[in-house]
Amino acid sequence: MFFHSFIYTLKTLIRDKGQAFWCVLFPIVLATMFNFAFGNLDSNEAFSAIDVAVVIEEGKETEALQSALDSVSAEGENQLLNISYVGREAAEKMLAENKVVGILTAGDQLTLKVSAAMKNSKLEQSILKVFTEQYNLYAESMMDVMKTNPAGVMDLINQMNAEANYVKHKNFTEGNISAALTYFYNLIAMACLYGSFLGNSLAHYGAANLSAIGARRLVSPVNKFVYDIGSVCAAIVMEVVSITLSIFYIRYILGIDFGNQFGYVLLTVFVGCVLGVTLGYFIGNIGTASSQVKFGILISSTMICSVLSGLMFNGMRITVDQFCPVINKINPAALISDSFYSLVIYPDHSRYFYNVIICAIEAMVFIIGSFLLTRRKKYASL
């Protein structure tokens, strides 16, 4: 009976166009939209040298400034500025045309002019401001020392050179911590939870008060437990194949890197799909509301879970962790996406397996709950 149920359930699910849309097409369409929306998220965060125009006023001594500017504009990974030495008029024109972020003018002091219209360059403007202020501070200190203690100039220069940066940049992990990637993890988590629609469909066709097919099945001499396990397994297979297709699409068509632990990725997908299908099966077997009402409940609850796990806003999970951390410990979407995340971030798998085990426990609760709800059931009304 298990195989009879498994094969025919799989046939009906594969041929159901509505289910095919939610399981296969919807995650692919959403992933494509995500790729358009978040594809440049990481490149936006990367730093590039700031374009700046430098104007040197006539008759001014600029040797020290030239030296400083040369050091910060030297090509390499530490290049801060990309300098154009131009006249006043040309510099103003370049600023007006947004070709430079600001104009540095070497006069009695180094001054900075930026355009208020360049709202997207606030960070670069701040860097230029800090550079200008620091240069002027050093220059002033040098002048004071030269006036009061010319012999101490060399000491001052040595001190300046000796200023060390005690903070060293070090990556927390060797993995890819792309911000965009977390959106795709959440998308896959949501797609796994969409397996609940399949579970709800199974419950619909197994209940005499919801469908004529359910009534016909319940009057047959079939062990409901064995039959339903066959159906649930078929739905899980359908869902796993769908999500794996989506992952292949994201990996190979959209070019989003899921890391090199593909076996663990598949395990996460499998557990996520089991959780999704059993969640839908459980909700589908509760109460006497119609399947459409239960579908509505499922679509809204999966959406809420996904939003709380960070599908819409990357920092949401941190916010939830601050105000109600238990939600992240039980939210299926958060557990699934965090499993993907921890695969990339952490060198060991302890957090990954913690998430996977919690998912498995939740799925067990849902499936046992479903059987208790439907076991030897007689209806009050049909």
Candidate residues 93, 113, 217, 251; the one interacting with another protein per rule CB under 8 A: 217
Residue 208 near another protein by CB under 8 A:
yes
Residue 221 near another protein by CB under 8 A:
yes
* CB nearer another protein, residue 99 or residue 216: 216
| Residue whose C-alpha is closest to residue 306's, from 335, 326, 283 | 335
* CB nearer another protein, residue 16 or residue 42: 16
- Residues 222-261, one symbol each (x = binds another protein by CB under 8 A, - = not), give xx--------------------------------------
* CB nearer another protein, residue 189 or residue 210: 210
Tell me the sheet residues that pair with 110. 106
Instruction: Give me the least distance between CB of 11 and another protein, in Å please.
Output: 6
- 96 Rama sector, left if φ>0, alpha if ψ -120 to 50, beta otherwise: alpha
Find the helix or strand (DSSP H, E) in which 328 lies.
helix 325-330
Residue 216 near another protein by CB under 8 A:
yes
* CB nearer another protein, residue 8 or residue 248: 8
Q: Could you give the C-alpha distances from 377 to 208, 218, 232, 380, in angstroms and in order?
A: 10, 9, 19, 10
3-class DSSP state of 345: helix
- 193 Rama sector, left if φ>0, alpha if ψ -120 to 50, beta otherwise: alpha
Distance CA 339, CA 189 (A): 10
Total residues contacting another protein by CB under 8 A comes to: 28
Residue 292 near another protein by CB under 8 A:
no
Stretch that binds another protein, among 118-126, 181-189, 217-225, 285-293 (CB under 8 A): 217-225
Distance CA 138, CA 144 (A): 10
Instruction: Give me the least distance between CB of 293 and another protein, in Å please.
Output: 20
Contact 274/366 with Cβ under 8 angstroms? no
Residue 21 near another protein by CB under 8 A:
no
Residue 220 near another protein by CB under 8 A:
yes
Residue 8 near another protein by CB under 8 A:
yes
Distance CA 137, CA 130 (A): 10
Q: Catalog residues that contact another protein under the rule CB under 8 A.
A: 1, 4, 8, 11-13, 15-16, 208, 211-213, 215-223, 376-382
